Structure 1
Amino acid sequence: MSQAKTPNKTVWFVTGSQALYGPETLEQVAEQSRQVVRQLADGLQAPVELVWKPVVLTADQIRRTLLDATSDDDCVGVVVWMHTFSPAKMWIAGFEVLHKPLLHLHTQANQSLPWSTIDMDFMNLNQAAHGDRELAHLAARANVARTIVVGHPTSPAVAAKVTDWARAALGWHTMRTLRLARFGDNMRFVAVTDGDKTGAQLALGMSVEQYGVNSLVDAVAEVADADAEALTAEYEELYDVAPELRRGGDRHESLVYGAKIEIALRHLLTAGGFGAFTSNFEDLGGLRQLPGLAVQRLMADGYGFGGEGDWKTSALLATMKAMTTPGGGTSFMEDYTYHFGPGPERVLGAHMLEVCPSIADGTPRIEIHPLGIGGREDPVRMVFTGRPGPGRVVCLVDLGDRFRFVANEITVVAPDESLPNLPVARAVWEPAPDLATSAEAWMLAAGSHHTVLTTDVPLAAVEHLARMAASELVVIDGGTTIRRHRADLEAGAAYHRLAAGLTGGR
């Protein structure tokens, strides 16, 4: 399944020096800086363009460049490198106006030292070893949020680290600029899907707005039968469609109605500039079906979604979709039920209908089955099983005084047996370090039952995202113990509450 194409976003590469070295040396600085950009870009596996910027020599040039980066809507982050020695007090005003993620690349143009020919001219030109340390001191003293990557730009390890950071920067840009439409409210009496939407916009940027579900109902009514029929023909080309739903089948009209929901949703989301949305089976208005197939298709194209009005998971999914490589698997998910044995303990994850086919192992099958809740006609949906592989489930929760990300490392596996009577998309996984520890740790961390499951976005990128959002991240992995986990939660709570008090945060 396709991912939505990320608009042409850029990362600026800014090199620091000073006028002290003279024009000949500065020309060499500029050329070697371009060389580093080319080498780094060759290994970058993120859908961003690395853009070289002229070498900055003065405090005013630095401030202007970083201010321009902040105001450029296409710039998602800035990489800085001190090729020679750039006195760090020149960077204070620039850091004050920079409001984009910052990566400090500690590198140099040459990979190896020319031992037999090295002289003072070479030493004067290649001073990053202490020039970067000067900048790092200032950044630490000024409490500038940043990521540091050390190594030569041709190193695969350096490229991987910069890629993880760039993917997170794309995600943070998506979250900061996201508009999310809620069709109806959240499920009644549910705590975790509720939350402070104004606080979320202040802290994380996303705008969450409510629309009456009948605005969707009206849009569905306006879809022409011919347009819906054309979309069902596309379904038949792309998926394994159950015979009764195919053209001429006795339930084909249900597939046509499902196509109308998709067309209507796409129209509303596009017209409103929305990158994510929610629905709620308790608030369907005049809809004849709970949206299932339409939601799955939209998620496959990069839209965020949360069931039962869960706007936080919807926003997180849109964010992590932006961080997902083309062809990678990232989906809305829910811990549904457990297998406690015999054999390895496992989680069976699913939802009523809405699991993204980007995680499917093979071609999804479009089927129609009754749904015991919602009180509407039988909905159409894709049915498939998630493909095996390492991954993680991530959630975003509102703790009242702050937002917290929770991530659990998992391995998606094949089910112990086929699931012939389970007519929904699903995934089975083994959580680290084991089911009992992971579940207890997740609940102690106030994790939600809705998550984003990804087999593509690495944990390092999630860690970068949480730091960019100045938010707490709780990681549950192979090294987690409940004793250490409790201590970490207590320390994290104390830190974030103290930090919020010092900065006047939420």
Structure 2
Amino acid sequence: MRNGHVTERLPSIGILGIMQPLYDDMIPGITDHQAAYARRIAESLADVADCVVGAPVRGRADAERAVREFENDDLDGVLVVMLTYGPSLRVTRVFDQMRLPVCLANIQPEPTVTPAWDMDDMTYNQGIHGAQDTANAMVRAGLPFDVVTEEWPSAAFTERVGRWARAARAVTAWKRLKVGVFGYAMNGMGDARFDETALIRKLGPEVEVIAPGELHRTMAELPGPAVAALMEREDAAFEVDERLSKEEREDHARMQLGIEKLLVEHGCGAYSTHFDAIAEDGRFARLPMAAASSLMAEGYGFAGEGDVLAAAIVHAGHRLAGDGHFTEMYAMDFPTDSILMSHMGEGNWKVARDDEPVRLIKRPLGIGGLADPPTLLFRIKPGPATIASLVSLGGEEFRLVVAEGEVLDSQRLPSLEMPYGQFRPDSGIRGCMDGWLRAGGTHHMVMNLGRTAADWEVFCGLADIGFVRV
């Protein structure tokens, strides 16, 4: 399983090239000439996005037709490129009704103005004032959008458009996301509370409540060979605790397969379970700890305690930066200026260290009052990392609190039988925690390996939510 990661597809992007018929008589063939330019842009972005190049937009009907095609093809976003100057009133209606994330690429065919330029060259490269007119239309429409002003083709242009494209993929996936909640959310946990109607109106994620009884029935109906096959994959991927009985492993495997089957049937890309909702049902032997870890590794968003906001941001982390890991801050370690990151037993094993096996252990757990839940135990891979927390501020106001830093190559904690690591924020634990708490950062969050604050900032701009870096 550890080597079975399915690589996330590249973002799918439509290129909307804008010009106008004014120049046809002056420069015969200009439309074909600039269409070829748009195709070269797409070719330069092949490593970061699958680009669909629309026909050059020369009027309102062209623009509306092109965007409808992008939407019908379920693309992730639209990259707007000025092929020449184009009057914005011809695309104003499109931007007022735009459903896909947008980036305005403020570029031109030639990066240098030279004495050899004639009026044809001036016309080919005059996109900058078309970009100003077009951006003004987007602002008036209240459309969130990103802007990239760069030379093309260049590494900087590819990097910035790639960052926007990944953010567009995450935002578009969010708009279609359903988060399954098995049972209910933890009583009294205020930072996970939100207005469901505001969430779906503003951001898109929808809550789908799934009864624990449905999980129990699904587990019982699973065929034995499917259960055995999952256990075989675990044997190949993990170091399995010899103390785990066949009954314990089969019950865990049935929980994982049952949860995934229900997520597929309900159309959910993320989910959350609460230990009380499982324990109080009375029909389950143990909590689905290892299931959460492996389902995260397969690309599902997850959070504990019925926390929909955290499950949604883990889902976004998968699409934005890959391998979203659900975690929380457990304790501060002042001598190393770091924070111990862990949770009750759920964590994405794709972020585990490469030099240690992921262990499937028999793990006593008093919470929930059930039998020992098989749990995946690992330490987080040392190196750069980023944490992000989705905050509901009331109504349709949301904020993302983000911190970059480093997972330390830190001490072992032999008594901690759940995924863990020590995260040292770039701003130090004092500065980070002061900022985190002032911004209302929640106690559940997503961690991604690597420095991804810039990606999250673009994501927030496209989702029209606040961004706070601490």
Q: List per-residue Cα deviations over 1:32-84 (Å, max 9, x = no partner).
A: 22112212324x2xxx4111111011122123323443x42511110111121
8 Å CA contact 2:146–2:461 kept in 1: the answer is no
8 Å CA contact 2:146–2:462 kept in 1: the answer is no
Is the aligned partner of 1:338 residue 2:340? no
Residue of 18, 21, 31 corresponding to 2:20: 18
Amino acid paired to 1:413: L
Is the aligned partner of 1:37 residue 2:48? no
Amino acid paired to 1:355: G
TM-score, length basis structure 2? 0.93
Cα drift, residue 5 of structure 1 = 5.4
Structure 1 equivalent of residue 211 of structure 2: 212
Residues 228 and 52 from structure 1, CA distance in 2 versus in 1: closer, same or farther, beyond 3 angstroms?
Answer: same
**For 1:436 and 1:423, how far apart are their aligned partners in 2?**
27
**For 2:442 and 2:377, how far apart are their aligned partners in 1?**
24
Gap regions ≥5 residues in structure 2:
none
Cα drift, residue 25 of structure 1 = 1.7
Is the aligned partner of 1:408 residue 2:413? no
8 Å CA contact 1:181–1:209 kept in 2: the answer is yes
Q: How many residues align?
A: 459
Structure 2 equivalent of residue 452 of structure 1: 446
Residues 144 and 315 from structure 1, CA distance in 2 versus in 1: closer, same or farther, beyond 3 angstroms?
Answer: closer
8 Å CA contact 2:101–2:172 kept in 1: the answer is no
Q: Secondary structure at the match of 2:340?
A: strand
Structure 2 equivalent of residue 166 of structure 1: 165
Amino acid paired to 1:59: R
**For 2:373 and 2:18, how far apart are their aligned partners in 1?**
59
Residues 90 and 302 from structure 1, CA distance in 2 versus in 1: closer, same or farther, beyond 3 angstroms?
Answer: same
8 Å CA contact 2:303–2:310 kept in 1: the answer is yes
**For 2:51 and 2:303, how far apart are their aligned partners in 1?**
33
**For 1:201 and 1:354, how far apart are their aligned partners in 2?**
26
Is the aligned partner of 1:57 residue 2:48? no
Q: List per-residue Cα deviations over 1:413-441 (Å, max 9, x = no partner).
A: 122x2222211111211123111221122
**For 1:79 and 1:270, how far apart are their aligned partners in 2?**
32
**For 2:451 and 2:266, how far apart are their aligned partners in 1?**
28
8 Å CA contact 1:244–1:252 kept in 2: the answer is no
**For 1:219 and 1:161, how far apart are their aligned partners in 2?**
45
Cα drift, residue 461 of structure 1 = 1.6
8 Å CA contact 2:238–2:358 kept in 1: the answer is yes
Residues 310 and 412 from structure 1, CA distance in 2 versus in 1: closer, same or farther, beyond 3 angstroms?
Answer: same
Q: Secondary structure at the match of 1:403?
A: strand
Structure 2 equivalent of residue 221 of structure 1: 220
Residues 129 and 397 from structure 1, CA distance in 2 versus in 1: closer, same or farther, beyond 3 angstroms?
Answer: closer
Residue of 422, 437, 444 corresponding to 2:431: 437
Is the aligned partner of 1:469 residue 2:470? no
Q: List per-residue Cα deviations over 1:178-202 (Å, max 9, x = no partner).
A: 0111001111121112222222111
Identity %: 28
Structure 1 equivalent of residue 131 of structure 2: 132
Is the aligned partner of 1:350 residue 2:349? no
**For 1:424 and 1:366, how far apart are their aligned partners in 2?**
10
Structure 2 equivalent of residue 361 of structure 1: 353
Cα drift, residue 229 of structure 1 = 2.2
Gap regions ≥5 residues in structure 1:
246-250, 477-506
Q: List per-residue Cα deviations over 1:394-413 (Å, max 9, x = no partner).
A: 11122223222111222111
Q: Secondary structure at the match of 1:104?
A: strand
8 Å CA contact 1:320–1:457 kept in 2: the answer is no
Cα drift, residue 20 of structure 1 = 1.6
After alignment, is 200-209 or 22-31 more displaced? 22-31
Cα drift, residue 235 of structure 1 = 0.6
Residues 9 and 154 from structure 1, CA distance in 2 versus in 1: closer, same or farther, beyond 3 angstroms?
Answer: closer
8 Å CA contact 1:78–1:100 kept in 2: the answer is yes
After alignment, is 22-31 or 368-377 more displaced? 22-31
Structure 2 equivalent of residue 257 of structure 1: 251
What does residue range 262-277 of structure 1 map to in structure 2 within 5 Å? 262-277=256-271
Structure 2 equivalent of residue 503 of structure 1: none
